[in-house]
Structures are given as C-alpha cells and as structure tokens.
A and B are shown apart, each in its own frame.
Chain A
Amino acid sequence: MTRLPWIVDTRVHRTRYTALLAPCTAIAVTIVGALILMSIMGVPPLRALYYLYAAPLSGRYNIGEVLLKMSPLLLIAQGLAIGFRAKVWNIGAEGQLILGAIGGSLLPIYFNDSQSALMLPAMVLVGASFGMAWAAMAAFLRARFNANEILVTLMLNSIALQLLYYLVSGPLRDPFGFNFPQSALFPDAAMLPILVGGTRVNVSFFIALIATALAWLLVRRSMIGYKLEVGGTAPNAARYAGFSEKQAVWLSLLIGGAAAGLAGVFEVAGPLGQLQRVISPGYGFAAIIVAFLGGLNPVGILFAAFFMAVILVGGDIAQTAAGVPYALNTVLQGILLVTYIAARLFVDYRVRLRPPAPASEAQI
C-alpha cells in the first residue's frame, strides 16, 4: 500500500494570518499566471503587469471603472456568501441579475417620459423582486421536491438569457430603434446619480458598501445568520436544534436573488442606460469566485471584490491596448479560484512530512 509522503492533521488553532495565506497565495499565483500567459501571447511581462494591475489603478477614469465593476461583484458576492455558508449552492446569480435588469427596465420603458422622483426606488423594488422570484423557483423546487439547486439555478441562467433575448428583440424593443435588439434609452429620472465627475461610478457603490455592512450584521450578530451557519457546518446539530433546513434554503436563495436582482437594476440604470442583449460580463459567475476568495467573510469579500474588479478592468485595458482576448479574464478567474481552494489545505489543516517508518513496521 503506497502512502502519501505527507500527513494532514486538522488544524485546531487558527490565527488571522493563516486565513490570509490562501487569498494572498491565490493572488500571487494568478499574477504570475497572467504574466506567463501574456508573454505567450507576445506581450512583454512588464507591459502586461502594467496593463493588468497598474493601469486600472492610475487615473481618475480607470479607478472609477474599478469601483463601477466592484459594485455588482460586491453586492452579489455578499448575497451568495450567506447561502454558501449554509451550503446552499446558488450558482444562478447571473440569471437572477438578468431578471433584475428586466424587472428594473419595465417602468422606464413604459413610462419613458416620466420625471417622477419615485422612478428609481420603484425600479429597484421591481428589479430586486424579479431577481428574488427567479431564485424562488429554485428554492421552491429544492424545498418541495428536493431538486438539486446547483443544476436548477444553472438551467435558470440559460433560460433567463433566452428570455432576455426574446424581450429585447420583441416586446421591449425600442419601436424607433431601427430594429436593433435593445430597448429605448431610459429617462434621466431612471438613471443612478454619478458620484464623481469624469467617471462612471455611481451610487450603486455606496449601496454595495451598505450591503456589506448588513451582511456583516447578519452573519455575526443575528440569530438567522447563526442558524444558517450551523446548518452549513453541522447539519445534524442544526436538525437537532430544530433549525429548519427549508428555511435556510429559502432565505439563502431569496437573499442571493435579491442582491443579484439589485445588481441587475444598477447595470441598466447605471452604465447601460437601457435594456440590451448583454447586461453583464459574467458578474454572476465572477461573484462566486469573489465570495470564495473572500473566505465567505463579509470583510474578506470587500477586498476580494476589489481585486476581481481590478482584474476585469485590467483585462479590458489589455484587450484594447494589446489585443489580448477577453477570455484571458476567464482563465485568470479560474486560476484564482483553483489556487485559492488548493491553498486552503494549509489553512484548514496542518501539513507535515511523514516521518520515516521504523524498520519493524516497514517489514509488515
């Protein structure tokens, strides 16, 4: 019987620093991976480093773009992490975001000349409810029929995309838009106020920060958060204590759906200004990575969302400046999460080399 040359023990004591080890390793490996990939594609390493990690942080406009992309990532990841802690795997944030965008677009499309101050709050309400409703389907199927929520939410992503395609090429298409698959432009009353002149960053950034604070309160200071956590880490104990599993499923998915739906409204009411075929460059999936990279911890997620936004903006810059395919972003996201999970071995466990077996044991 071959044995692995190392021994893995459960780690009993954790310090703050061990928790930081995994994300820092993952980020370092991702940066090295990016440089290698970029040099294969003919971009000198220093230039690549500049495009991906320095350019996004230099200049008012670029920093604004980082914060703009950070908002949906942060918002969605905080929502997802609450479910992930309870081991409810909502992989459908992308679809819930699309539904949020659709819901948020209905009012400004049908009341296109409205100047009402209630427009934005109403859009937010409708959009978040749409996102919640889309997630609620998965919650219902899981709670009632025990249907695996990973598969259901994933399928709902594909269906949401088809629904969006149908709506923008039919019922919600701009009648004066020369048949382009997009809605009419939103009125000013339906647009989020810009925070800093010369950038595109809007108040959604503040709302994402507020969501972070709320998530922290829920996770650390509320009974609901505690129940969800116990359900995820010790399902038997949770059952014994009478914490309802169905309630955890519903709560996780509804919170995740509302957050993603909100992010969808903010996309159409922010940088897009209309409903169109492409709402998100995969925020729903990137947010899953952000949630894990942040250790499912509200504060960790804040930093993870920032880093992910830098990667996304860096990828955009590299694409326009050096013609690097956008797919590089996806590869980097994959590397980031894979190395993070692998590095968690050293956080959750103590790994040491196996001492050489005594001679007597070796003979057996």
Chain B
Amino acid sequence: MQTITFVLAGTMLAATPLLIAALGELIAEKSGILNLSVEGMMALGAAIGFIVVMETGSYWLAFLAGGLVSTLLAALFGAVVLLALGNQVATGLAVGILGVGLAALIGKPYESKTVPPMPRMPIPFLSDIPVIGPGLFNHVVLVYLAPLAALGLWWLFRYSKLGLIIRAVGESPEASHAIGHNVMLVRLLAVLAGGFLAGVAGAFISVASTTLWSDGMIAGRGWIVVALVVFGTWRVGRVMIGAYLFGIASIAELLVQSTGIGVPSQLLTSIPYVATIVAIALLSMDGRRIRLNAPVSLGRVYREAQ
C-alpha cells in the first residue's frame, strides 16, 4: 500500500515538468519550428527559479521569472531561425548550449544550497481516499494544472481559430502567407510560448521536486521532452500519456532500490534513456504514421515571398 502511494506520488512529480515542457515544444512544432534547445531553456528556468525562491521566498515569482528568462532565450532562438534563416537543428543545439552554460554561470554561487520545498495543496476529500488520495491529490498546484493545461491545448488545436492558424502555418507556411496570415509572428509567438513553458518546467524541477540547484541537474530531461512530442505523434493526448509513462520510468530507479535487489544504480539511472530509445524506435517503425502526423513544414527553413 505504502509502495503504491509512493509510486503514484513520484510519478506525478516526475511527469509534471516533462508534460509542461512537452506541451510547449508541441506548440512550437505544430507551427513548424523544431526547437532543440529545450534542455538549455529548462536549465536556465531551473537556475533562475531557484535563485528567486532563495532570494524572495516566492514560488509563483520563481515560475514566472524562470519562464520569462527562458522566453528571452526562446526569442534569441526565434530571431536566428526566423529572421536569420538559420538551420533549426544547429540553432537549437547552439541556443541549448548557451542556455546550459548561462544556467551554470548564473547558478554557480547557489550550487548545492537547498530551498524549502514548495507547500503542497491537498485537494479536499479526494486526498483522503486511502492509498490513491495521498499519491494523486496531495501535490503542489502545478501538478494539477499541467493536465488542465493539456486539456486547454487540446481544445485550442481542435476547436479554436488560433489553433487552426498555428496548425495551418505548420503544415504550409506558403499557403498561410498567401491567405494573409503573418507566418513569422505566429511562429515567433509559438516559440516564445514553448520557451516560457520550458522555463516553468525547469523551475518546477529545481524548486518543487529536487529543491536544489546543481549544474547538469536537468540531466537530459529536455531531450526526453523533444522525444515525447515524437512519441505522442504531435497529439496532445498521446504526449500527455507519454509524459506520465516516462514519469514512471524515471522513478523506477527509486522503486527498485527500495526493494533492495542488488542492481547497479547506474543501470537503473539509464532506464529513462533506454526507454526513450525504445519508444522512438517502435513509434518510428511505421514511417507513414510519422509522415501523417508530423507538421509538414517541421524543421524546414521558410523564406517569406518578397
């Protein structure tokens, strides 16, 4: 019983930042921009968020600041990709490296300090359900907000005009331009939204789940986020399922250790990475599925008709 509660709680905590950042990456990719700098944006968000909690004690301010600073980094990425027509893969790598470096530089004085964990907000009645209650309904607010945000994004893409415009721009920027949509602006806003959410996700990791800052603490989560969008074949619902599955995979380490079986810890730490590779391979096997679902212009340089 204790174990089930522990697994549920751990999964929610691990999955939430993955989900938040993956929703952001999904917005950018739906508009046709492949943003590979999520790792750097999450790292920067984590560093800034941690520092803000350290200095002001406000968790909400930490999410806001982490999100906004990552948005700035996303603006740089957007400018290079959209205005300077940079290759999206190379630009993403470059901005990602910059983000990881800036995070390490800014966070240096705060290395190995800790903050008090963000206060939880148990949901009345639901959190009193035995076993499941404390596992699912006794968390910080963002854990509940993330699936709601996913629902909102699903609605946006499915039913709203804005969602339709974003998808149109991602499928065919030329046609969207021809019917009068501002492709550049839509893509820039999508990239900025993605950056903001990546920053919030990073701040979540440093102030709500680990409560400490150290260089390299994002540990490839930003890349798992990019993989999640492929895994979810650019569908909000599947991306969300993927995020929770990866949440389970990333706490498998703690789980196996608690049973006392003598497995090398390094093997367990590798589980999420191995799971990512397996998931990507299985999902990409059917090339049609990827081609049908991926935004057609994803990753392509787009030069506006003059």
Q: Residues of A with Cβ closer than 8 Å to B?
A: 1-2, 4, 7-9, 37, 89, 91, 141, 145-148, 150-152, 154-159, 162-163, 165-166, 170, 285, 288-289, 292, 325, 327-335, 337-338, 340-345, 348-349
Chain B interface main SS type:
helix
Q: Which B residues are in CB contact (< 8 Å) with A333?
A: 97-98, 101
Residues of B90-120 at the interface with A, using a CB-CB cut-off of 8 Å, are 90-91, 93-102, 104-105, 108
Q: Shortest beta-carbon distance, A132 to chain B, in Å?
A: 18
What 4 pairs across the A-B complex have the smallest Cβ distances?
A334-B98, A330-B101, A327-B104, A337-B94
Contact B101 A151 (CB under 8 A): no
Interchain pairs with CB closer than 8 A, number: 150
Q: Does B304 contact A (CB under 8 A)?
A: yes
Q: Of B40, B84, B105, B287, which contacts A344 at CB under 8 A?
A: B84
- Decide: A155 near B276, CB < 8 A? Known: A338-B80, A338-B95: yes
Task: Find chain B residues with CB under 8 A from A329 CB.
Answer: 101
In the complex where A327-B101, A333-B97, A334-B99 touch, is A1 in contact with B182 (Cβ < 8 A)? yes
Are A331 and B180 closer than 8 Å at their CB atoms? no
A328: chain B residues within 8 A (beta carbon): 101, 105
B273→A151 contact, CB < 8 A? no
**18 A-B contacts, Cβ less than 8 Å apart?**
A141-B281, A147-B277, A152-B277, A155-B223, A156-B277, A159-B274, A162-B269, A166-B266, A289-B94, A327-B102, A327-B105, A330-B105, A331-B105, A333-B97, A334-B94, A337-B94, A338-B76, A344-B84
Contacts of B96 in A (CB 8 A): 334
CB-based contact A331/B102 at 8 Å: yes
Contact indicator B85/A151 (Cβ below 8 Å): no
Chain A residues with CB below 8 A from B273, complex form: 155-156, 158-159, 162
How far, in angstroms, from A343 to B86 measured CA to CA in the complex? Answer: 9
Name A's interface SS.
helix
- Judge whether B281 and A147 touch: CB under 8 Å: yes
Q: Does chain A have a CB within 8 A of B292?
A: no
Chain A residues within 8 Å of B304, by CB = 4
In whole Å, how far is A52's beta carbon from the nearest beta carbon of chain B? Answer: 15
The winner among A341, A345, A348 for most chain B CB atoms within 10 A is A341
Q: Are A162 and B270 in contact (CB under 8 A)?
A: yes
- Measured in the bound complex, the distance between the Cα atoms of B304 and A9 in whole Å is 11
Residue numbers in B under 8 Å from A335 (CB-CB): 98
State which of A9, A154, A332 has its C-beta within 8 Å of the C-beta of B220.
A154
Instruction: Pick from A162, A288, A331: contact of B93, CB below 8 A.
Output: A288
A37 to chain B: closest residue by CB: B105
CB nearest neighbor in A for B95: A338
Is the beta-carbon distance between B105 and A155 smaller than 8 angstroms? no
Q: Is the CB of B105 within 8 A of A146?
A: no
The contact of B94 among A1, A327, A341, by CB within 8 Å, is: A341
Considering the chains assembled together, what is the distance between the CA atoms of A152 and B273 in angstroms? 9
Question: A8, A154, A166, A337: which contacts B85 (Cβ < 8 A)?
Answer: A8
Q: Which residues of A contact B285 (CB under 8 A)?
A: 145-146
Q: With A and B bound together, what is the CA distance between A345 and B81 in angstroms?
A: 10
B216 to chain A, nearest CB (A): 10
> Is B230 in contact with chain A by the CB < 8 A criterion?
yes
**Nearest Cβ in chain B — how far from A278, in angstroms?**
12
CB neighbours (8 Å) of A156 from chain B are 273, 277
Given A155-B223, A342-B80, A342-B86, decide whether A334 and B274 contact each other with a Cβ distance below 8 A. no
Q: Nearest CB to that of B94 among chain A residues?
A: A337
A1 to B104 alpha-carbon distance, docked (Å): 41
CA distance A166 to B36 in the complex (A): 29
Other-chain contact of A341, B86, B102, B180, B303 (Cβ < 8 Å) = B86
Report yes or no: A330 in contact with B104, Cβ–Cβ below 8 A.
Answer: yes
Q: Which of A151, A157, A165, A288 contacts B230 (CB 8 A)?
A: A151
Q: Please, how many angstroms separate the alpha-carbon atoms of A151 and B220 in the complex? A: 10
CA–CA, A338 to B306, complex, Å?
26
In this assembly, does B280 line the interface, its C-beta being within 8 Å of a C-beta of chain A? yes
Which residue of A288, A337, A344 has the most chain B CB atoms within 10 A of its CB atom?
A337
Distance A344 CA – B85 CA, assembled complex (angstroms): 9
